[in-house]
Amino acid sequence: MNLPNKITIFRICLIPVFLFFLLDDSIPNGDYISAAVFVVASLTDFADGYIARKYNLVSNFGKFMDPLADKLLVCSALICFVQLDLVPAWIIIVIISREFIISGFRLVASDNGVVIAASYWGKFKTTAQMIMSVLLIVNFDGVVFNTLEQVFIYISLVLTVVSLIDYLYKNRKVLSDGSK
């Protein structure tokens, strides 16, 4: 197993640690610890992709597990935000629905021999969701922080929809005739 794949596995292993500190109110500074774990896990997303491309270590395992690890991390956080009453459930449903739609779309494309690479809109969406998540995890009090949280919630929502439309439009032939 190459280094990028080990980093991806490490990211997946950080998810229960992140959730433990996020959801256990009895731990002093648990929100800061969970934010630090989330940031480390998020940074591994950039690290594994960079290393895989730079050193030509791209693998089928990585192509499958890297986006799955990202979805597991972000969706875990998003679901917790609903439980913690930080984000309305309908927003989280839209965001997670997009992930299911794109995953299904990629499966159909893969069955037809088409690889759908991540788009810039998808990367912007992921970055916005990760910033939103860190802001919500630390959940500082104050008008500025509360406003920033709300701004990133809606930026994440808009980028989620835009990236979905972008994926579907650019790759519409995959669904229409099963070819490139």
- CATH code of residue 18: 1.20.120.1760
Q: What percent of the chain has pLDDT over 90?
A: 69
Q: Which amino acid is at 129?
A: Q
The count of structural domains within the chain is 1
| Cβ proximity of 119 and 167 under 8 Å | yes
Token pair in block for residue 38? 């989330």
Task: Convert the pLDDT of each residue in 117-168 to its tens digit.
Answer: 778 998 899 889 989 999 999 999 999 999 999 999 999 999 999 999 999 9
Residue 110 confidence (pLDDT) above 60: yes
Determine the structural domain holding residue 158 and report its residue range.
Answer: 3-176
- Other beta carbons within 10 angstroms of residue 45's beta carbon come to 21
Predicted local distance difference test score (pLDDT) of residue 178: 46
Place of tokens 């229409």: 176
Q: pTM here?
A: 0.87
Phi, psi of 55 (to 5 degrees): -105, 15
